[in-house]
Homo-oligomer: A and B are copies of this chain.
Amino acid sequence: MDQLTLMQRLSIPGTTKMVLFVMDGVGGLPGPDGKTELEAAHTPNLDALAARGTTGLSTPARPGVTPGSGPGHVGLFGYDPLDWQIGRGVLEALGIDFDLGPDDLAARGNFATLDADGNILDRRAGRIPSEEGVRLVEKLRKIKLPGVEVFVEPVKEYRFVLVLRGKGLEDGLTETDPQKTGVPPMPVKATRPEAERAAELLNQWIAEARRLLADEPRANGLNLRGIAKVPPIPKMPDIYKMRLGAIATYPMYRGIARLVGMEVLPTGETIESEVETLKAHWDAYDFFFFHVKKTDSYGEDGNFDGKVHVIEEADAALAKVLALEPDVIVVTGDHSTPWALKAHSWHEVPVLLWSRYVRPDGVTAFGERPCMAGGLGHIRHFDLVPLMMAHAGRLTKYGA
């Protein structure tokens, strides 16, 4: 029996409240004074919670594997990210609140600059401003394709989303982006027979788009990437018999949350506004996904101090979350983004679990090294939701 089937079978409704508090990319590496970002941050609330709770280190996908944001969150939400792959186009569409259905094929589009021979000069069209992207998308909306609905939506700067909606559109399609300049975009190809029709339609759309964009000074071309359908992923409300609310300032995370059946709660740009959103909806949901983005952003920038500062801000927010008296809280990240690598990494992510039923483990600070001695040991992301459910009293006994 796979994990989701087991959870679906054991889970029961309840009145307890759970919070999955995610600091994106929180895991790090030692800085100048030998402490990681998390260890260097002044985090009295996290440390106190660690002292009352149990800690460990969690692997998002597999040992050694660096996950993207998709697999990182899919893991946190209780799915094996190797079983459930979410295409880049799907993530991009979900991230702009596009309501993707089962007949939709989504692609991430990038405007590009082509030379007179059709070779790529700039894969990002000189990073045109978002307003220009909106204008170009308006142009592309004129394109019609036989037998399918076509949606084109601006994202940001040179990025847009293309969605074809219709029966019989299957994925298994190559990208057009050659990932380098000096060569032309490639045609979309089907990697399996069922996807042939979609490939034809996409290539037809691209040809018409090229015609419409021909006079543009910078964005006279485009690429399509990560062309995919929504995977038929079982929804968390059905598996766990609960209502889940997602609070995130960035589109992509809201998108992934929506994909697994969470309701996205409107919020502002700051952690403070996210806390207000949590308070406002506290009574209406069983489980909250609370996402802090900027730990990852500063990690990607290699900004040790910036990441430390966001962790401290999240620590202050945590106090307000705890004041709502959740029954279960997990604090962790979707993956590590060590300042020293300026990128996502494969390193395990510190994790902290508290409920009134944990066995405290003697760890009194939340950091990578303290967590090595934690009571949870080395676990996997997709074990966290089952543990939360158990601690919330929402899993019945397995077997007699």
A: residues with CB less than 8 A from B are 1, 3, 6, 10, 29-30, 36, 57, 61-71, 81-82, 85-88, 91, 226, 338, 340-341, 343-347, 357, 359-362, 368-369, 372-375, 377-379, 383, 386-391, 395-400
Pairs of residues from A and B, 4 with the lowest C-beta to C-beta distance, nearest first? A64-B386, A64-B390, A68-B399, A377-B378
| Complex contacts, A30 vs chain B, CB 8 Å | 359-360
A36 touches B347 (CB 8 A): no
Chain B nearest CB, measured from A80 CB (Å): 10
B68, B372, B388, B395: which contacts A400 (Cβ < 8 A)?
A: B68
Q: Which residues of chain B are within 8 angstroms of A6 by Cβ–Cβ distance?
A: 62, 65, 82
Alpha-carbon distance between A390 and B398 when the two chains are bound, in angstroms: 30
Residue of B nearest to A73 (CB): B399
Contact across chains for B398 and A66 when beta carbons are under 8 A apart: yes
B10, B68, B226, B374: the one within 8 Å of A397 (CB) = B68
Chain B residue nearest to A61 in the complex (CB): B398
Output the least CB separation between A338 and chain B (Å).
8
Which among B69, B369, B379 is the interface contact of A362 at CB below 8 angstroms? Answer: B369
Residue numbers in B under 8 Å from A68 (CB-CB)? 397-400
Interchain CA distance A361-B370 in the complex, whole Å:
9
Copies of this subunit: 2
A1 vs B347: C-alpha distance when bound (angstroms):
21
Quick check: B346 and A65 within 8 Å, CB to CB?
no
A153 to nearest B CB, angstroms? Answer: 18
Q: Which residues of B contact A369 (CB under 8 A)?
A: 359-362, 375
Provide a sorted-by-A list of 24 A–B residue pairs whose CB atoms are within 8 angstroms: A6-B62, A6-B65, A10-B65, A36-B359, A62-B386, A63-B387, A64-B388, A64-B389, A64-B395, A65-B386, A65-B390, A65-B398, A68-B397, A68-B398, A69-B400, A70-B400, A81-B399, A86-B400, A338-B357, A345-B357, A345-B390, A359-B368, A372-B373, A378-B379
Alpha-carbon distance between A86 and B396 when the two chains are bound, in angstroms:
17
CA distance in complex: A343, B390 (Å): 13
Q: Write out the residue numbers on chain B whose beta carbons fall within 8 Å of the beta carbon of A378.
A: 377-379
Determine if B29 and A359 form an interchain contact, defined as CB atoms under 8 angstroms apart.
yes
**In the complex, A395→B383 CA distance in Å?**
24
CA distance A113 to B36 in the complex (A): 66
CB distance from A344 to the nearest CB of B (A): 6
| Contact across chains for A399 and B70 when beta carbons are under 8 A apart | yes
- Indicate if the CB atoms of A398 and B71 lie closer than 8 Å: yes
Contact B347 A67 (CB under 8 A): no
Report if A63-B357 is in contact (Cβ < 8 Å); known contacts: A70-B399, A400-B226: no
* Inter-chain contact B359/A390, CB cutoff 8 Å: no
Q: Complex: how many Å from CA A360 to CA B29?
A: 9
**A280 vs B207: C-alpha distance when bound (angstroms):** 56
Report yes or no: B88 in contact with A386, Cβ–Cβ below 8 A. no
Q: How far is the CA of A340 from the CA of B226 in the complex (A)?
A: 50
Contact B400 A91 (CB under 8 A): yes
Q: Assess the A399–B64 pair: CB atoms within 8 A.
A: no
Smallest CB gap from A54: residue in B: B372
- B-chain residues with CB within 8 Å of residue A69 when the two chains form the complex: 399-400
Instruction: For the complex, give the distance between the alpha carbons of A21 and B189 in Å.
Output: 45
A38 to B86, CA, bound (A): 46
Q: Closest chain B residue to A361 by CB distance?
A: B372
Query: Of all chain B residues, which has the CB nearest A252?
Result: B400
Give Cα distance in the complex from A70 to B399, angstroms. Answer: 6
Known A-B contacts A70-B399, A359-B347, A400-B69; A62 and B3 likewise in contact (beta carbons under 8 Å)? yes
Contacts of A396 in B (CB 8 A): 66
Tell me which residues across on chain B come within 8 A of A343, comparing CB atoms: 397
**A29-B357, A377-B377 known; A397-B66 Cβ under 8 A:** yes
Q: How far is the CA of A67 from the CA of B399 in the complex (A)?
A: 6
Complex contact B64–A387 (CB within 8 A): yes
